[in-house]
Structure 1
């Protein structure tokens, strides 16, 4: 699921795509996948592509927070939570710092 999400984000030119393994530090999910978008249209394109790819693979989004006009959209797939941010919100909320006890996965090949 993480590999598909990353692929979907990269296909639509998501910026600074990161994977954080939080399995050992939280019960809410195993992985966070983060990406930045340069504008609202790109945010929507990233979200749509993730939803489409994961749906076709048989994964259903349990909950989605945010909308087309949002600067942060969260898609909850259970074990994987995908965050798509504007660059400004990503810096402001700084999930990488908040979840620094998790492990940054450098490549999907490590999964």
Structure 2
């Protein structure tokens, strides 16, 4: 399955659980670990975990092997490694502190509005 298809499903899954400020960085040619970083946040630990569970469930429905999930119990920064797409689900407070968008500032942002349209 191509990374763009996985990305679209992941964006939809995060949006379905009311993830806020969903951003996708195109990491192709910038990072060897993934084609895309999906970054979003929730406003509580329960919401962060719900978003992470939905992303994992979506990956499994696509018959993807979720390589690793880190930080689920703490629910401050959960990383879901789906191969070519890595999702970073933050608690709102942690997102502004780590500011991955600035850290990877040379990565272009993907337009995900079509995936978020009702």
Decide which of 18, 24, 29 is 1:24's aligned counterpart.
29
Q: Could you list the per-position Cα deviations for residues 12-69 of structure 1 after superposition, in whole angstroms to 9, with x for gaps in the alignment?
A: 1000011000112111111000111000000111011111111011111101111232
Q: 2 CA distance for matches of 1:54 and 1:6?
A: 11
> How many residues are treated as equivalent by the alignment?
110
Quote the RMSD (CA, aligned, Å).
1.4
**1:17-56 counterparts in 2 under 5 A?**
17-56=22-61
Q: Which has the higher strand share?
A: 1
Q: 2 CA distance for matches of 1:109 and 1:10?
A: 12
The TM-score, its normalising length taken from structure 1, stands at 0.93
Provide the secondary structure at the position in 2 that maps to 1:103.
coil
- Contiguous gaps of at least 5 residues in structure 1: none
**Does the Cα contact within 8 Å between 2:49 and 2:75 map onto a contact in 1?**
no
The TM-score, its normalising length taken from structure 2, stands at 0.88
